[in-house]
């Protein structure tokens, strides 16, 4: 069983006296202030990070705890993309507020829109993403920032409900949609990671 869990890059950037590592925070760790091409490039880097981590683990150059923490940091980044971008708003612009479980991940939406038999809506959504997808600027307050584009309300549970930027905000379709698609994306990653671990254990 994989040890570790969702490891927040934020924790690593906390001062050591507060339990962190005192590291510098980088935009790619949170998908901050990115356009479509930068977002795709960052996802490509994260995919490489997963592949590299699994390779090190398979060669016994990394233990389960180290792998779990590394993958957890990637989970955090992926979840930040959906939580601090306009992805679900663009989806709703094309499809409306559909059943939340129907929302594709970014990669699924791009792939579907590029198929020869893609529907008009799939093509429209893929084009809209290419022209308008963006993530919030950080740091800062106001329109277009990480805080303003915050969907971390999820289903309204703690600890997000105590954060200043979400106090008094109502849990709505958008916040639930962002949580659902982020969960779907990280579950797919986790399933692939577990396959590699199971294969190693069975050897």
- Between residues 75 and 160, the one the model is more confident about: 75
pLDDT-above-70 percentage for the chain: 77
All residues at 6 or more sequence positions from 156 whose CB lies less than 8 Å from its CB, including other chains:
171
Give tens-digit pLDDT for 48-94: 999 999 999 888 898 888 888 888 888 888 988 998 999 999 999 99
Average pLDDT over residues 30-51: 91
| Tokens matching residue 170 | 């109502």
CA distance 182 to 76: 10
| pTM higher than the cut 0.95 | no
CA distance 102 to 105: 10
Among the listed residues 151, 176, 173, the one whose alpha carbon sits nearest the alpha carbon of residue 83 = 151
């Amino acid at each position: 069983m994989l040890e570790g869990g969702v490891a927040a890059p934020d924790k690593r950037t906390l001062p050591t006296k507060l339990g962190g590592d005192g590291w510098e925070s980088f935009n790619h760790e949170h998908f901050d202030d990115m356009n479509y091409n930068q977002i795709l490039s960052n996802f490509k880097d994260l995919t490489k990070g997963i592949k590299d981590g699994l390779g090190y683990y398979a060669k016994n150059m990394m233990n389960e705890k180290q792998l779990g923490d590394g993958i957890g940091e990637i989970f955090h980044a992926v979840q930040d993309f959906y939580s601090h971008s306009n992805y679900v708003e663009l989806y709703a612009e094309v499809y409306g507020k559909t059943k939340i479980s129907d929302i594709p991940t970014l990669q699924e939406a791009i792939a579907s829109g590029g198929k020869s038999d893609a529907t008009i809506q799939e093509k429209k959504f893929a084009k809209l993403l290419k022209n308008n997808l963006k993530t919030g600027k950080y740091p800062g307050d106001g329109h277009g920032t990480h805080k303003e584009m915050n969907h971390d309300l999820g289903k309204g549970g703690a600890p997000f409900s105590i954060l200043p930027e979400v106090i008094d905000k109502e849990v709505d379709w958008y916040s639930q949609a962002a949580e659902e698609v982020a969960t779907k994306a990280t579950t797919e990653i986790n399933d692939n990671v577990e396959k590699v671990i199971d294969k190693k254990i069975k050897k």
